[in-house]
């Protein structure tokens, strides 16, 4: 049956969700097959059809690709393979929000037929595909899930976690090894060969869907805990009056020391994925101490930055109320336009409580989106000799290029510059983590 699908020269793939994960995937597959790129966001579809990617990850060349971007679900008829790349965020209480995933699954359920294949790429807790998505697919479609070689009629599932690194031009979809998995041996092999067609770095076929799900969730959990450790160390060393970066530089001379640095952990991956794991773990009766301690530290770093700045301003005889503070960077990550779950917002809100006057400067992020999502007006130009304090919150290359001299010129004579990401040499700025 699968061999028949593979032989079809007119194999039709639909990518559901065209964010920073779905779009590059759709483009790669469209070089081999007909691709329907589906997203419920009409504005996004309109922009993509004009060749504009607001995530700034992809340069679109519409003429070259066999791809149709649409919000119209009628194009999901006669699709052989559905690939789900929708966001899996958390609610404000840090519980997994599977609404996008469930909605996408419900939609797909209406269009699958016998022998359809549904592959999930969204980050989920282990078990989500088979315990949450499959029942929806079965219910809506009336078809059976094929997870044994004995069953012949129904639909197959697979899980192949995305490993996109936003803002990283070196590690892209093609040259990052991709994990694959499928609900039967046969379909796992098929899914693996399918991805092999577009991933030059190769694939890794996991034993089960659950193992593939688990592998993805621990990757970001590991980064989270390692950043949490250096964040905690920076808090400890501040108390000991030791320069954290000097310590890290010295420690790095050991062959197996891992170079992590303090900072804010926001975005929709590292700061979110661990909560998916801890949610499921708690449901099974185990409260993860290590993972949650990391989340706790990283989530409170914004507050720490605010407290430390206010304290130092006070010590430097800068009166807090009505002081003018510039925050450089709103994106959740350097050289990235994405502002979802950025922790800079927590700094902004924290400073507001002190009745300071805050301006945010970020030349990369979408000004409309900042207004829409956070009601923040991003300034376009910096005034000279104007700010009492500057927080360099994000390590955008453009800030580095700007140089500390230019940043000092926007400040009043008595000022504080807090170089949160350590992008300038020590003696040029007053504060570091």
Interacting residues toward a second copy by CB under 8 A: 126-127, 163, 171, 176-177, 179, 204, 206-208, 210-212, 214-216, 218-219, 221-223, 225-226, 228-229, 232-233, 235-237, 239-240, 242-243, 246-248, 250-251, 253-258, 277, 280-281, 284-286, 288-294, 296-297
For CA atoms 256, 260, 261, 262, the dihedral sign is: negative
- Interior/surface letters 131-145, b for 16+ CB within 10 angstroms, e for the rest: ebbbebbbebbebeb
Nearer to a second copy, 93 or 253 (CB): 253
What's the closest the beta carbon of residue 265 comes to a second copy, in angstroms? 13
- Residue 175: is it exposed, middle or buried by C-beta count within 10 angstroms (0-12/13-18/19+)? exposed
What's the closest the beta carbon of residue 201 comes to a second copy, in angstroms? 9
Nearer to a second copy, 273 or 362 (CB): 273
What's the closest the beta carbon of residue 171 comes to a second copy, in angstroms? 7
332, 343 contact by CB (below 8 A): yes
Residue 323 phi, psi (nearest 5): -65, 150
Nearer to a second copy, 197 or 251 (CB): 251
Q: Which candidate in 133, 157, 269, 336 is catalytic?
A: 269
What's the closest the beta carbon of residue 403 comes to a second copy, in angstroms? 25
Examine the residue annotation and report whether 177 is marked as an active-site residue of this protein: no
Nearer to a second copy, 110 or 296 (CB): 296
Could you give the CA distance from residue 6 to residue 25 in angstroms, rounded to a whole number? Answer: 19
What's the closest the beta carbon of residue 64 comes to a second copy, in angstroms? 28
- Interior/surface letters 273-306, b for 16+ CB within 10 angstroms, e for the rest: bbbbbbebbeeeeeebeebbebbebbbebbebbb
Nearer to a second copy, 247 or 379 (CB): 247
Contact residues for 270 (Cβ-Cβ < 8 A; gap 6+): 220, 223, 224, 227
Could you give the CA distance from residue 397 to residue 293 in angstroms, rounded to a whole number? Answer: 31
Nearer to a second copy, 293 or 430 (CB): 293
Comparing CA positions, the residue from 315, 304, 328 lying closest to residue 404 is 328
Nearer to a second copy, 61 or 287 (CB): 287
400, 374 contact by CB (below 8 A): no
Nearer to a second copy, 212 or 431 (CB): 212
Could you give the CA distance from residue 403 to residue 395 in angstroms, rounded to a whole number? Answer: 12
What's the closest the beta carbon of residue 121 comes to a second copy, in angstroms? 14
Find where tokens 């797909």 sit. 108
Instruction: Give the bridge partners for 378, in sequence order.
Output: 360
What's the closest the beta carbon of residue 355 comes to a second copy, in angstroms? 28
What's the closest the beta carbon of residue 93 comes to a second copy, in angstroms? 20
Find the Cα–Cα–Cα–Cα dihedral 325, 231, 430, 250, rounded to 10°: -160
The set of catalytic residues is 269
């Amino acid at each position: 049956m699968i061999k028949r699908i593979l032989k079809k020269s007119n194999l039709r793939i639909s990518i559901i969700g065209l964010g920073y994960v779905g779009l590059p995937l759709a483009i790669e597959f469209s070089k081999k097959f007909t691709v329907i790129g589906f997203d419920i966001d009409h504005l996004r579809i309109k922009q993509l059809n004009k060749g504009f990617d607001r995530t700034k990850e992809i340069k679109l060349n519409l003429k070259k690709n066999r791809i149709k971007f649409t919000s119209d679900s009628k194009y999901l008829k006669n699709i052989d393979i559905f690939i789900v790349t929708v966001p899996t965020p958390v609610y404000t209480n840090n519980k997994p929000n599977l609404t996008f995933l469930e909605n996408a699954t419900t939609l797909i359920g209406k269009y699958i037929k016998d022998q359809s294949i549904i592959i999930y790429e969204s980050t989920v807790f282990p078990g989500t595909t088979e315990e949450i998505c499959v029942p929806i697919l079965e219910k809506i479609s009336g078809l059976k899930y094929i997870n044994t070689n004995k069953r012949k009629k129904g639909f197959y599932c697979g899980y192949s976690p995305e490993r996109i690194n936003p803002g990283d031009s070196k590690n892209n979809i093609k040259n990052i090894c991709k994990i694959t998995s499928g609900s039967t041996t046969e379909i796992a092999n098929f899914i693996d060969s399918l991805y092999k067609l577009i991933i030059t770095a190769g694939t890794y076929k996991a034993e089960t869907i659950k193992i593939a799900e688990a592998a993805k969730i621990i990757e970001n959990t590991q980064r989270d805990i390692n950043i949490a450790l250096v964040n905690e160390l920076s808090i400890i060393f501040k108390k000991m009056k030791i320069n954290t970066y000097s310590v890290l530089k010295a420690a790095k001379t050991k062959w197996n020391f891992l170079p992590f640095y303090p900072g804010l952990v926001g975005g929709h991956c590292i700061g979110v994925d661990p909560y998916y794991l801890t949610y499921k773990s708690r449901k099974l009766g185990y409260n993860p101490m290590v993972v949650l301690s990391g989340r706790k530290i990283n989530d409170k770093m914004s507050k720490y930055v605010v407290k430390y700045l206010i304290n130092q301003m006070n010590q430097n005889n800068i009166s807090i109320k009505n002081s003018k503070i510039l925050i450089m960077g709103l994106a959740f990550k350097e050289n990235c336009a994405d502002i979802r779950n950025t922790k800079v917002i927590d700094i902004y809100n924290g400073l507001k409580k002190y009745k300071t006057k805050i301006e945010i400067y970020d030349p990369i992020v979408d000004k409309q989106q900042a207004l829409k999502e956070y009601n923040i007006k991003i300034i376009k130009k910096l005034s000279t000799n104007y700010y009492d304090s500057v927080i360099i919150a994000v390590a955008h290359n453009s800030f580095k290029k700007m140089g500390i001299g230019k940043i000092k010129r926007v400040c009043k004579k008595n000022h504080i510059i807090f170089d949160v990401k350590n992008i300038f040499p020590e003696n040029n700025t007053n504060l570091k983590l």
